[in-house]
Amino acid sequence: MFCVLLDPAPFGEFRYECFIATLVREIRNAEKCFNLKRGTVVNGK
């Protein structure tokens, strides 16, 4: 999973673009990325 920090959103929050290598991990990796953005830790593999 590659999370790239983009320009700050109009709301003052930073947007992350998550690039996933496989469709199998796509949703879960994206969830991790966005949850990390919120400061939340998710237990999932």
- What's the angle, vertex CA 31, arms to CA 25 and CA 27, rounded to 5? 35
Place of tokens 């496989």: 22
Distances (CA, A) of 1 to 11, 22, 30, 31, 39: 25, 9, 8, 11, 17
Which ranges of the chain does DSSP label H, i.e. alpha helix?
23-38
> The tokens of 29 are what?
């990796």
Q: Give pLDDT, residue 19.
A: 47
In this prediction the pTM is 0.24
Q: Give pLDDT, residue 31.
A: 75
Q: Give pLDDT, residue 21.
A: 46
pLDDT in tens, 1-45: 455 555 555 554 545 555 444 555 667 767 776 666 665 555 554
